[in-house]
Amino acid sequence: MLASAKNKCTTMAVVIRGAIGTLGTSINERWTAAERAVWTMENVPSYLLSVIVGLILSDGYLQYRGGHALLQFRQSMSHFSYFMFVWNFLAPLCQGMFKIGTSMRLGTLCYYVRFSTRSLPFLTELYNLFYVHGIKCIPDALIMYYLLTPIALAHWIIGDGFWNYSGLILCTDSFSVMDNVKLINILMVRYQLDCTLQSSRNRIYIKAASMPRLRAIVLPFMHSSILYKIGLNPNQTISITPSRLDETRFLSI
């Protein structure tokens, strides 16, 4: 499993849309068992896998159905632009179109949009990594080191990040303290980010001094509507200086 995660998450090869086992759309088509069997961790495009890992860390969740796990993802309509950004990546894994629904929150009728993927072998592999007795957790630190790519980090921040005018807070309340320590260690070792754990709320805090570096890491993979989560205005001109480009050497780690 470690070798698979390392090999998949350290390459960013171009994927031809429509190739078998990659990104061909197939809405309203029922896949055969053989077509589903192609989708193992070894065959999933690395970019796609990283997006899914980022969603699992934040707003997405996995559940068993039809012999394998599937991914469900839901966002409020206020984040519809980001939802469509994700949908464009994951639609090929879905048999049906996304759906719009409603829920009551504090007495207010709220609209949301959601989708579910097909049940696939690689999602079962991820389920076995990220869930223990049905509770979401963080895998072994060495496996997570390779799974937490810049792409996965960007989608994690989009889902759970909160800019507080001095640094970034990751709302990791649902994870155990031990799991958050694993994540902090990875952020510090792989990305050289200065992080602490807010013990009172069990949330990860990335300090202000590390924000220029963090932006250099995740900005290429962020949707413009969510740039406020890393303290940027989507209308401002953003440039990556040569020094920041040097910092992206960890992309190949």
Look at residue 2 in the predicted model and tell me its pLDDT: 59
By CB atoms closer than 10 A (0-12, 13-18, 19+), residue 226 is: buried
Query: Could you tell me the end-to-end alpha-carbon distance of the chain, in angstroms, rounded to an integer?
Result: 17
3-class DSSP state for residue 11?
coil
Look at residue 154 in the predicted model and tell me its pLDDT: 98
Look at residue 24 in the predicted model and tell me its pLDDT: 57
Domains of the chain, first to last: 2-140 (3.10.28.10), 151-252 (3.10.28.10)
By CB atoms closer than 10 A (0-12, 13-18, 19+), residue 117 is: buried
Look at residue 12 in the predicted model and tell me its pLDDT: 45
Report CA dihedral (230, 232, 238, 240) to the nearest 10 degrees: -30
Query: 187-236 pLDDT, tens per residue?
Result: 999 999 999 999 889 999 999 999 999 999 999 999 999 999 999 987 66
Look at residue 236 in the predicted model and tell me its pLDDT: 61
Return d(Cα 51, Cα 246) in angstroms, integer.
Answer: 24
Look at residue 7 in the predicted model and tell me its pLDDT: 59
3-class DSSP state for residue 76?
strand
The residues of the chain scoring below 50 in pLDDT are: 12-22, 237, 241-253
